[in-house]
Amino acid sequence: RKEVEQDPGPFNVPEGATVAFNCTYSNSASQSFFWYRQDCRKEPKLLMSVYSSGNEDGRFTAQLNRASQYISLLIRDSKLSDSATYLCVVLYSGTYKYIFGTGTRLKVLA
Amino acid sequence: ETGVTQTPRHLVMGMTNKKSLKCEQHLGHNAMYWYKQSAKKPLELMFVYSLEERVENNSVPSRFSPECPNSSHLFLHLHTLQPEDSALYLCASSPQTGGDEKLFFGSGTQLSVL
């Protein structure tokens, strides 16, 4: 089983749609969780950290379920500029090991 | 953003060449990383340095040799690479202090080995 699993997509959605991505992780010692965004041939950029209580940043909402070992990202009112690959990242407690999922591709269509 | 600067952006090299990738971070972070990203694969951690000491070495072939002369600079020395080493190589840094664990990337080096 992969340490961090994501549906690779692509998710093709119209502008204005709401889309949700899930990510599961296998190591219960995982401590910190993040969503990164990566555009084609560019470096990953931090989108948001994921906190146990859930957190929101504008149109983006992240949730963490430790019992089921998954995290989610919800994007509301999708924009064309949201088209990218979204990477789920898990950091193991007391280590420097950031483990990346393969990413989920999102295409927002006009 | 110029927090983490990587050079060169693109590199083409033959299998007998020796080259080096350079990374510099201007964020005052304690930890620096090398990652490899191949097509359709997740980012693979290669090396981690914390305060200039190597703390992770993920079974990387010896043809990749990291160097961390100080907490702001990181190098990846390449020699006798193979075509399958062609990939995007990403440098990153993180604070690793006070619970702030966000990872920041440089723009990457797209490496092609002929």
**Of A87, A105, A97, which is closest to residue A48 (Cα–Cα)?**
A87
**Of A106, A97, A104, which is closest to residue A3 (Cα–Cα)?**
A97
CA distance B104 to B110: 18
Region B5-27 average pLDDT: 94
- Asked whether the beta carbons of B38 and B85 are under 8 A apart, the reply is no
Region A77-88 average pLDDT: 97
Nearest to B103 among A4, A98, A103 (CB): A98
**Of A38, A23, A107, A109, which is closest to residue A69 (Cα–Cα)?**
A23
- The residue of A96, A98, A99 whose CB has the most chain B CBs within 10 angstroms, and thus the best one to mutate to test that interface, is A96
pLDDT at B97 over 90: no
First to last CA, chain A: 37
Count the neighbouring beta carbons within 10 Å of the beta carbon of residue A46: 15
Region B102-113 average pLDDT: 95
Tell me the pLDDT tens digit for each residue of A90-104.
Answer: 998 778 889 999 999
Predicted confidence at residue B60, as pLDDT, reads: 93
Looking at every residue in chain A, the average pLDDT score rounds to: 92
CA distance B20 to A110: 43
Residue located via tokens 């204005």: A16
CA distance B39 to A87: 14
Residues of B with CB under 8 A from a CB of A: 31, 33, 40-43, 45, 48, 50, 55-56, 88, 90, 94, 96, 101-108, 110
Nearest-Å Rg of the Cα atoms of chain B is 13
Contacts of B61 (CB under 8 A, 6+ apart): none
Judged on CB neighbours under 10 Å (0-12, 13-18, 19+), B79 is middle
**Of A76, A97, A75, which is closest to residue A30 (Cα–Cα)?**
A97
- Report the range of poorest mean pLDDT among A37-41, A50-54, A75-79: A50-54
CA distance B29 to chain A (A): 13
Percent of chain A predicted with pLDDT > 90: 76
Alpha-carbon distances, residue B54 vs A9, B17, B91 (angstroms): 36, 25, 14
CA-nearest residue to B101 within chain A is A32
pLDDT at B1 over 60: no
Q: Which residues of A touch B112 (CB under 8 A)?
A: none
Predicted confidence at residue B45, as pLDDT, reads: 93
Tell me the pLDDT tens digit for each residue of B22-79.
Answer: 999 999 999 999 999 998 888 999 999 998 888 877 789 999 999 999 999 999 999 9
Predicted confidence at residue A53, as pLDDT, reads: 86
pLDDT at B3 over 80: yes
Predicted confidence at residue A30, as pLDDT, reads: 72
Q: Do A89 and B96 touch (CB under 8 A)?
A: no
Residues of A with CB under 8 A from a CB of B: 4, 32, 34, 41-46, 49, 87, 89, 91, 95-103
Q: What is the DSSP letter of B52?
A: T
Predicted confidence at residue A55, as pLDDT, reads: 92
Predicted confidence at residue A31, as pLDDT, reads: 81
Which of the pair, A107 or B98, is modelled with greater confidence?
A107
